[in-house]
Structure 1
Amino acid sequence: MLRTAGVAASATTLFGPSALSGPAPAAAVPRRSPVLPDPGSITATDPALLSALEAVSLLRSRALHPRELLDACLRRSAEHDGEINSWVHVYPETAHAQAEAAATRLAAGNAPLLCGLPVGVKDLYALEGLPLTADSRILEHNIASGDATVCRKLRDNGAILMGHARLDEFALLTATPQVGNPWNIADTVGGSSGGSAAVLAARFAPLALGTDTGGSVRLPASRCGISSIKPTYGRCSTYGIIPVMWTRDHPAPMGRSLADAALLLSFMAGPDGHDPATTAAPPPAPLYPLAPRPALKPLAGKVFGVVAVDMPAELGRLFGEYLALITELGGELRDVRLPAEPEVLATGGARELGSYHRQWLDRLTELRPSSLPVVGMGLAALAAPFTEYQAFERAREQYQRDYNRLFAEHGLDAVVLPGAARDGTPRATAAAMSLLDADLVPVAWANYTGAPAIALPAGRSAVTGMPFGVQLGGLPWAEADLLDIGLALEAAAPYWREEPPLRPSPRVLPAVAPQPPGPGPDPTNTETWNSVYRFFPTTATATG
């Protein structure tokens, strides 16, 4: 039974990188040991309200059983998901089996840090023998033929894959209008990973998987008051994930806190022979930082490039206060402009989108009306000469070098910009937002460069009461450095602890038992052919 639970974070228990299963990559630089909350300091009475790191502390001290944590998450979902509608399917049979296996590993005393934690999974990731629908009627009866590499990694390390969360259909839009925001059911959760963000904000699971093709985890994080990490392109495998645009798609961890998301990233990252971009990447950290470095001025010597965005006065106030926090912690601010995005970047991405969706040519009427223009744009792009796609490749590489040069010329450690430009948006209004407008805030810069970006909550509007967040971006492969910055800001401004006041809204959860796998050969049981071309981020600044 749960004896202690809660939200305090006094840190006494230490676990080194050996807590992760398997040896660290030979070339990896070891990170400092994670600091977990003291089990005796945790005071919440409902396990579903625990952060991921708090749950880790209680699981490892044997004060909490994985099944108890899972049941609390399922119970809270059943009590409150009626209006929110965050789950496409839940998998209690497989999840309970995973919880019992996790308990056995924890009892043996050598379990990975992730062991026993429930994870919500965006409905693009394949789980063998379970539905995979991309939240679309087109895939209503589709059953995955295998596991996405990321999901296999998580399960192998003891995670409990609790269910599939909703998204904008095929991840084409940025609103997820079928999901209510836990802070205001009538408001948008953002997208396309809006269901995953809602699962976290509503405390239905401590961790969630999203994907980011055009701000798809950063926008929902800002809308829902949670945190996310878009890693460097190639840091995490895309194998077994339904694609949107294969050179812009990023598997992405999401958590209530940045520290929680960093824990999830530690078990997602690494090479995969099915995804060439990951095999060429430098080794990931064996464990990404989970706590800030102790310092009076933790951002001293750090330079932040501030990107101006038009937004309402109240959001401008919140953003200004966050910039003031950066300077209070020792950081220096410099006004910068992101590189201009050549038009060919959008047309190249459209061709990739069309390459996947051409398999549904005889079923386009089954798409939602809001999805049709985006898919139509992608299919039309297939008629363009392949030389235009080659021009996209060249422009993409040049844009990435221009971004690196921005850092070099201004001496930057990170860029900082808002995570939203609207102070609350009704779900009906947001329904038509696509990857083409992305909520009027710059987001594609991180997908075109492949550089890492994090999203953090930065307070709530005094006008609407809705959360507001910021984006921070770094140089390729520098996730650990960017996380150090973000964790310092999170410690100074722990807005992630704020909990939406949910009202009872019961729902019979859409529970599904495992079934025979689809025929494949791709784990998604769809045709995910794409070009042999893979974008590879570098830190180069040279032109040409």
Structure 2
Amino acid sequence: MTELYSFTATELAQLLKTKQISPVDLIQCTFKRIKEVDSSVNAYITTLEEVALRQAALAETEIINGLYKGPLHGIPLGIKDNYETKGIPTTAGSKIKENYIPDQTATAVEKLLCAGGITTGKLNMHEFGGGLTNTNIHYGHTRNPWNLQHTPGGSSGGSAAALAAGLATLTTGTDTFGSIRVPASMCGVYGLKPTYGLVSTKGVTPLAWSLDHAGPMARSVSDLALMLQVMAGYDPQDPASIKAPVPHYKEYLQKGINGIKIGVPTAYLDGLDEDVSLLFHNALQTLQQLGATIIEVDIEELSLSSFASYVITTGEAATYHYEKLQQNFEDYAPDVRIFFETGILTNTPQYVRAQQARRALTEAFQSVFDDVDLLLGPTVPIITPAFAEDMVKQNLEITKRSMPFTAPPNLTGTPSLAVPMGIARNGVPVGMQFIGNHLSEKILFQVGSSWEETNPLDKK
């Protein structure tokens, strides 16, 4: 019998709505799993069993009395620990904020809770979002459930690991230069970096204001659609929030991909680990068999992405952390401190040139989307690695290798959907990402859902 903790939200919603299972039973099952597994995985910084059981009891009463709120009602939801939660510690994975208890809840979380989501706890992360390995000297390293000696990716590593291990049904993540998509890919789950401004970042600890995105993570594309339906929308308290219509995303899940034109940047075909290259070329063949047209495209401006992303991210992060870096630099993990201190050395001409490079890349993306519906590439060019002895060096190296692949959608503000691509010979998943034009999430879900039906993690 399949345990409830491994079901998707889409599957659980029907069972909850028809009263075949209760929210209380589901939460109890989830926390039983947490107690059995999380001592090894370390996905959570703070668990909230009593809070969750109270919320589940209320949800049960509401559903029994015919007050069903929709498909998130009664669903276990893990929150990345850089989203503020009223009355609950929000550390951003840092010693500096270990005693911080907000008096407000982040807009995106508030929306999910109002839709009936049940908070299981606050999830581990790379400190302040400043890395892609989810090593954390303050709260312990999060481990990849597929192999505990391997990184889960970061900075939303706790969010991805919780999904992969059955420690939450849905989770939230943030993404500044890959922090949703990298861990989703390395843990074999699904993650969406939405269009910039589509989901409010009000109440989310910033890494780099102009690049930060909040988004959903889940074990299926359908679940992402359920979450985004709730999370998306204009927030007057977020200066970057955009006023845009929110489609009924689930309506696009069964449309198939026949006739969809997918561009593959030639820059994403070089420098790949052998297993990544093999799986990616196999994926291209599968997509063609499903009816998509694959077109190689040349985007020279992609070569600007690492420079632009590194300068903008470190510069804006150093601005946010400037006083603390002067006064309490020893409280930062070494890799994060080095990353942020680099931004202090950034000068105004470098920052302006980085923004100019960003504009050039954005214009190049707009041009290529005149000819294709989506872009596609590996999420990162490397197989999911085991933790290295020198974790500072490893994080900086993985960030350097990943940025050319993950940073462009952040720089351009375009949405990107990370999906599992397959399993490498080391037994750990790797992933790829579909990149769309602004506000094309519905097409990403359409194509991602068709890809999911090929069961990419079950292929031999």
TM-score in terms of structure 2 length: 0.92
CA distance in 1, matches of 2:279, 2:173: 26
Q: Unaligned stretches of 5+ in structure 1?
A: 1-43, 499-544
1:100-249, aligned counterparts within 5 Å? 100-107=57-64, 108-177=66-135, 178-249=141-212
Relative contact order (C-alpha < 8 Å, sep 6+): which is higher? 1
* Residue of structure 2 equivalent to 1:358: 322
Structure 1 residues 255, 302: CA separation in 2 closer, same or farther (over 3 Å shift)?
same
Offset at 1:488?
1.3
Aligned pair 1:453/2:416, yes or no?
yes
The TM-score with structure 1 as length reference comes to 0.78
Amino acid of the structure 2 residue aligned with 1:418: P
The one-letter code of the counterpart of 1:354 is: A
Deviations 1:234-266 (A, max 9, x none): 100000000000111100100011111121111
SS where residue 324 of structure 1 aligns?
Answer: helix
Relative to total residues, which structure has the larger helix share, 1 or 2? Answer: 2
* 3-state SS, counterpart of residue 341 of structure 1: helix
Query: Which whole-Å CA distance do the structure 2 matches of 1:181 and 1:345 have between them?
Result: 26
The aligned residue for residue 334 of structure 2 is 369
Partner SS, residue 138 of structure 1: coil
Shift of the 481–336 alpha-carbon distance from structure 1 to 2, 3 Å rule, reads same
**Of 417, 421, 424, which aligns to 2:384?**
424
Work out which of the residue numbers 414, 434, 442 in structure 1 matches 2:374: 414
1:408-454 Cα shifts (integer Å, max 9, x gaps): 2xx11111111232223112266532485154661100000010000
Distance 2:233 2:162 in 1: 26
Aligned 8 A contact 1:207 1:255 in 2: yes
Partner of 1:538: none
Give the aligned partner of residue 521 of structure 1: none
Q: Report the residue type matching 2:60 in the other structure.
A: A
Displacement of 1:377: 1.2
Query: Quick check: 244-253 or 136-145, which moved more?
Result: 136-145
Question: Aligned residue for 1:77?
Answer: 34
User: In the alignment, which residue of structure 2 is the partner of 1:57?
Assistant: 14
Query: What is the aligned partner in structure 2 of residue 86 from structure 1?
Result: 43
Question: Which amino acid in the other structure matches residue 341 of structure 2?
Answer: G
Q: For the residues of structure 2 that align with 1:441 and 1:469, how far apart are their CA atoms?
A: 15
- C-alpha distance in 1, partners of 2:176/2:320? 15
* Distance in 1, Cα, partners of 2:175 & 2:50: 29
> 1:261-410 to 2 correspondence within 5 Å?
261-278=224-241, 280-285=242-247, 287-289=248-250, 292-293=253-254, 298-307=256-265, 308-338=269-299, 339=301, 340-341=303-304, 343-360=307-324, 361-381=326-346, 384-385=347-348, 389-408=351-370
Q: Larger deviation: 249-258 or 426-435?
A: 426-435
1:439-498 CA-to-partner distances (Å, cap 9, x unmatched) read 46611000000100001112212x21111211110000111112111111112x123689
Q: 1:319 to 1:59 in 2, by over 3 A?
A: same
CA contact (8 A) 2:170 2:218 kept: yes
Query: In the alignment, residue 91 of structure 2 is paired with which amino acid?
Result: T
Larger Rg: 1
**Cα displacement (A) at 1:219:** 0.8
CA contact (8 A) 1:446 1:452 kept: yes
> How far apart in 2 are the matches of 1:95 and 1:273?
29
Cα shift at 1:394: 4.3
Q: Which amino acid aligns with 2:451?
A: L
In 1, Cα distance between equivalents of 2:233 and 2:57:
27
Q: Which of 428, 444, 447 is 1:482 aligned to? A: 444
Q: Give the letter for the 1:349 counterpart.
A: T
Question: Helix, strand or coil for the counterpart of 1:277?
Answer: coil
C-alpha distance in structure 2 between counterparts of 1:306 and 1:402, whole Å: 14
Q: Using the alignment, how far apart are the partners of 1:433 and 1:369 within structure 2?
A: 11
Match of 1:99 among 42, 56, 60: 56
Judge conservation of contact 1:233–1:250 (CA < 8 Å) in 2. Answer: yes
Q: Cα–Cα, structure 1 residues 422 and 264, in superposed 2: closer, same or farther, change >3 Å?
A: same
CA distances 1:135-180 after superposition (whole Å, capped 9, x unpaired): 1111111111210000111111111111111111111000013111
State how far apart, in whole Å, the 1-side matches of 2:313 and 2:154 are: 18
SS at match of 1:216: coil
Q: Is the 8 A contact 2:17 2:68 kept in 1?
A: no
How much does 1:277 deviate?
2.4
Give distance in 1, aligned partners of 2:404 and 2:315.
23
Which amino acid counterpart does residue 68 of structure 1 have in structure 2?
D
Q: Percent identity?
A: 31
Provide the C-alpha distance between the structure 2 equivalents of 1:186 and 1:422, rounded to a whole number of angstroms: 16
- The one-letter amino acid paired with 1:314 is D
> Matched residues in 1 for 2:243 and 2:363: separation?
17
Q: Tell me by how many angstroms 1:344 deviates.
A: 4.7
Offset of residue 56 of structure 1: 0.6
Q: Is the 8 A contact 2:177 2:403 kept in 1?
A: no
Whether the aligned pair in 1 keeps the contact of 2:208 and 2:312 (CA below 8 Å) is no
Select which of 225, 237, 257 maps to 2:220. Answer: 257
Counterpart in the other structure of 1:433: 395
Contact between 1:174 and 1:438, CA under 8 Å: does it hold in 2? Answer: no
